[in-house]
């Protein structure tokens, strides 16, 4: 074990995967000597050479297209998209080409698209979005949203070994902020297994990605007031671990669903409807969704703090739920 930041753990995951499997290679805008805009691929070009770490033109569509073709032809490409926001310029490649390929032709398309996403860094509407819901709707894609360094490494290694196209959304605010002990060498965290980050019997909070940390903060505060909130970190949205999610909810009968992306049509809507359809009998109070405001992401710190979900909103919701 050694202590790593979230960003370092991702780099280590890439290193281990590249060492373990010759077919794994990475490419994208500025990923070479520069190491990508967040420095995540720094040093990999020295270790693995230009064949396996390659700068590309500013061409997301061509980058994802290459990944799809190379995967079909037997490699395990791990392209980096500089900001998840810019994957829109490759949207057709992702949803029309990669996603239905295996369904149509039986051919596996093992690619992992790494993309920093999320807000809190005051970088505005084009560098802060959480876009997972846009892809959540599309059959054929897997979606991973790690919240801790160990998970980031372990989920990345599993994603690279997976035979389907995986979108790997890294939260850029966690890159340098979060650190913990991470297992050395090969480390796998299976896709589709949620984890209970904190247990509690009064109310369940279901979330993923950076919001896990917000939830834990709120849970700590609630505990001082005698409310025990269980925090479920989904880790992957597709496949979705319904069992852990519903199991926790059946224990507490009260649920908050939290995500950073805006509410309308978000992943939370699906989670809430699953709970209502599959465990209606267990509901002691109406489920609550907490999400960002329904606006593009603003830059001004005052506006962005108001835009993003807050620990206070979670605390208030939990109190309302237990008193319902």
Ligand X SMILES: Cc1ncc(C[n+]2csc(CCOP(=O)(O)OP(=O)(O)O)c2C)c(N)n1
Whether 127 sits among the annotated catalytic residues: the reply is yes
Annotated catalytic residue, options 127, 187, 213, 259 = 127
In whole angstroms, what is the distance from residue 260 CA to residue 120 CA? 10
Of 82 and 244, nearer to ligand X (C-beta) is: 82
Q: Does 30 bind other proteins (CB under 8 A)?
A: yes
The encoded tokens of residue 139 equal 């059959």
Nearest to 192 by CA among 154, 231, 142: 142
Task: With beta carbons less than 8 A apart as the criterion, state whether 84 and 169 touch.
Answer: yes
**The tokens of 18 are what?**
């590249």
Closer by beta carbon to ligand X, 82 or else 150: 82
Which stretch in 120-128, 152-160, 214-222, 265-273 sits in contact with other proteins by CB under 8 A?
120-128
Q: Around Cβ 228, how many Cβ atoms within 10 Å? A: 16
Q: What are phi and psi of 213, to 5 degrees?
A: -70, -35
Which stretch, 66-74, 216-224, 281-289, 291-299, contacts other proteins (CB under 8 A)?
A: 291-299
Q: Which range, of 38-46, 118-126, 186-194, 259-267, touches other proteins by CB under 8 A?
A: 118-126
Nearest to 287 by CA among 267, 303, 301, 273: 273
Phi-psi region of 39 (alpha: psi -120 to 50; beta: other; left: phi over 0): left
Minimum distance from CB of 53 to other proteins (Å)?
13
**Residue 56 lies near ligand X (rule: CB under 6 A):** no
Restricted to residues 78-107, the positions that interact with ligand X (CB under 6 A) are: 82, 86, 89
Positions touching other proteins (CB under 8 A) are: 29-30, 32-34, 37, 55-59, 61-62, 85-86, 88-89, 122-127, 293, 295-296, 298-303, 305-307
- Active site positions, annotated: 127
């Amino acid at each position: 074990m050694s202590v790593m930041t979230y960003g370092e753990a991702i780099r280590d995951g890439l290193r281990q995967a590249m060492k373990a499997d010759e077919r794994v290679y990475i490419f994208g805008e500025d990923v070479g000597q520069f190491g990508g805009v967040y420095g995540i691929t720094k040093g990999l070009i020295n270790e693995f050479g230009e064949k396996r770490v390659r700068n590309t033109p500013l061409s997301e569509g061509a980058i994802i297209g290459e990944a799809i073709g190379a995967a079909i032809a037997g490699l395990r490409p791990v392209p980096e998209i500089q900001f998840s926001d810019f994957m829109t310029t490759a949207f057709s490649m992702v949803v029309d080409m990669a996603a239905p390929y295996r369904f149509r032709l039986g051919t596996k398309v093992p690619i992992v698209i790494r993309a920093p996403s999320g807000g809190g860094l005051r970088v505005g509407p084009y560098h802060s979005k959480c876009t997972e819901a846009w892809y959540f709707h599309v059959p054929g894609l897997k979606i991973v949203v790690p919240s801790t360094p160990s998970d980031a490494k372990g989920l990345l290694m599993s994603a690279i070994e997976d035979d389907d196209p995986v979108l790997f959304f890294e939260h850029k605010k966690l890159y340098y902020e979060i650190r913990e002990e991470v297992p050395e060498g090969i480390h796998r965290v299976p896709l589709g297994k949620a984890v209970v980050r904190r247990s509690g019997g009064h109310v369940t909070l279901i979330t993923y990605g950076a919001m896990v940390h917000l939830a834990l903060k709120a849970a700590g505060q609630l505990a001082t007031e005698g409310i025990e909130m269980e925090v479920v970190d989904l880790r992957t949205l597709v496949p979705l671990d319904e069992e852990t999610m519903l199991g926790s909810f059946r224990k507490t009968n009260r649920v908050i669903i939290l995500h950073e992306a805006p509410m309308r049509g978000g992943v939370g809507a699906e989670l809430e409807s699953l709970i209502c359809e599959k465990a209606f009998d267990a509901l002691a109070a109406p489920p609550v969704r907490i999400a960002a405001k329904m606006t593009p992401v603003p830059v001004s710190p005052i506006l962005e703090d108001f835009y993003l979900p807050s620990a206070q909103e979670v605390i208030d919701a939990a109190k309302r739920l237990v008193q319902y």
